[in-house]
Amino acid sequence: MKLFDKKNIDFGMILTQHGLSKTSFRKILIELFYTKKYSLSVDEIITNLSFPIDKVSVYRALNAFEKNGLIHKVPDMANLIRYALCQSECSFEKHLHNHAHLLCSNCNETYCINDFKIPVVNECKGFIIDNLKIILEGSCVDCQQSYK
Amino acid sequence: MKLFDKKNIDFGMILTQHGLSKTSFRKILIELFYTKKYSLSVDEIITNLSFPIDKVSVYRALNAFEKNGLIHKVPDMANLIRYALCQSECSFEKHLHNHAHLLCSNCNETYCINDFKIPVVNECKGFIIDNLKIILEGSCVDCQQSYK
DNA sequence: CAATAAACGCAAATCAATTGCATTTATTGA
DNA sequence: TCAATAAATGCAATTGATTTGCGTTTATTG
Ligand SMILES: [Mn+2]
Ligand SMILES: [Mn+2]
Ligand SMILES: [Zn+2]
Ligand SMILES: [Zn+2]
């Protein structure tokens, strides 16, 4: 569970720091990412909002957030896209993701893991490697419970 | 380059061994996977054929091949699906892929690598892991050449 | 506060992939 | 080998996620 005190976080400031304009929807969207523990799909975002929002606006906001280094994409089991908060200092210029992801093959929930030891590879068969995508598929704790 | 003598490979037999019926198109399709070095997209498959084929038939054949352990999916940079020959002894019952993939971020070519040391993980934060997907993104040799 | 730029909502378009159905081809067993 | 049965194919239509165009609304700037 991600513990934080909303009073201590200025979501408008976070948007500004990432070069994003502060609209009421965007402030609520970034707050939603801080409130929810893990990744979100477009449909989950809409479900979690207390007001109607056009799906297109969600897509455009997510694309802007991603371009400016606030969130990053994670694929689910069906190769559909989910989004998760960037954990390190990402920005428009530098978008680094040196962490792996847990993906529950049952509920599609995604968990960013920072303490997974990522193998260091720079070269393989002449191929120059500049990014590793590591997805660990399995069962999340909740889904293990419900199988008992 | 994958070297093999077509005379020595009975593609019909390969289909039979995987529980797939032998149609003229399927024999050519499996031969194409053996001929081409790496992964193929649906469009690349159609381009490489000397006769017209309905895209739907390609999709259906690929789905059948995948279900029966002859090929497996690999995502490209845009999360579109490419297909590559299974390297180990896959079948309908057991579909194991303990290898990583190189993915060229320029040309989307995919290379299966069997000698990449995959970290062993069984558990992480209560999550039960039963499959690792490792994609090494970078530049293939051909694309490095064309940038010079 | 006015001028400018960006975001939003709605409708339509795009694009990969799937589905239904009639027809053709493959498999099977007498 | 041949008819009966099952599976694959072609074509048209559909699905579903995502994107685009455009007029309107909201935010930013000075
Ligand atoms: Mn992450
Ligand atoms: Mn492979
Ligand atoms: Zn789960
Ligand atoms: Zn390349």
Q: Quote the tokens at residue A31.
A: 């707050």
Nearest chain A Cα distance for residue B55, angstroms:
20
Which of B63, B98, B134, B143 should we substitute to test contact with A (largest number of A Cβ atoms within 10 Å)?
B134
What confidence score (pLDDT) does residue A113 get? 83
CATH fold of A6-146 reads: Arc Repressor Mutant, subunit A (1.10.10)
Nearest chain A Cα distance for residue B90, angstroms:
19
C-alpha triplet B39, B42, B47: angle, nearest 5°: 95
Q: Quote the tokens at residue B25.
A: 């198109």
d(CA B57, CA B68): 17
What confidence score (pLDDT) does residue A77 get? 85
What confidence score (pLDDT) does residue B84 get? 92
| pTM assigned to the model | 0.86
d(CA B31, CA B34): 5
Look up tokens 């893991």; give the residue: A113
- B63 by DSSP, 3-state: which? helix
Q: A9 with A32: CB under 8 angstroms?
A: no
Name the phi and psi angles at A98, rounded to 5: -95, 40
What confidence score (pLDDT) does residue A30 get? 97
d(CA B145, CA B35): 23
Residues in chain B with pLDDT < 50? none
d(CA B123, CA B134): 17
What confidence score (pLDDT) does residue B124 get? 77
Which of B136, B140, B143, B147 should we substitute to test contact with A (largest number of A Cβ atoms within 10 Å)?
B136
Largest CA distance in chain A: 52
Nearest chain A Cα distance for residue B139, angstroms:
5
A113: enclosing H helix or E strand: strand A110-113
- B21 CA from C30 C1′ (Å): 22
What confidence score (pLDDT) does residue A40 get? 94
What confidence score (pLDDT) does residue B41 get? 95
What confidence score (pLDDT) does residue B88 get? 67
What confidence score (pLDDT) does residue B5 get? 63
Counts for chain A of helices (H) and strands (E), in that order: 5, 6
User: In this complex, is the C-beta atom of A121 within 8 Å of any C-beta atom belonging to chain B?
Assistant: yes
d(CA B28, CA A132): 34
What confidence score (pLDDT) does residue B146 get? 76
What confidence score (pLDDT) does residue A93 get? 73
What confidence score (pLDDT) does residue A146 get? 75
Residues in chain A with pLDDT < 70? 1-7, 88-89, 95, 97-98, 117-120, 147-148
What confidence score (pLDDT) does residue B92 get? 74
Residue B115 Cα distances to A59, B69, B98, B111, B112, angstroms:
39, 21, 10, 12, 9
Residue A74 Cα distances to A80, A100, A116, A119, B98, angstroms:
8, 10, 16, 20, 21
- A23 CA from D27 C1′ (Å): 7
Residue A75 is nearest to which of B79, B121, B128, comparing CB atoms? B79
A11: enclosing H helix or E strand: helix A11-17
What confidence score (pLDDT) does residue A145 get? 82
First and final C-alpha spacing in chain A: 23
pLDDT tens for A61-97 read 999 999 999 999 988 888 889 999 987 667 777 767 6
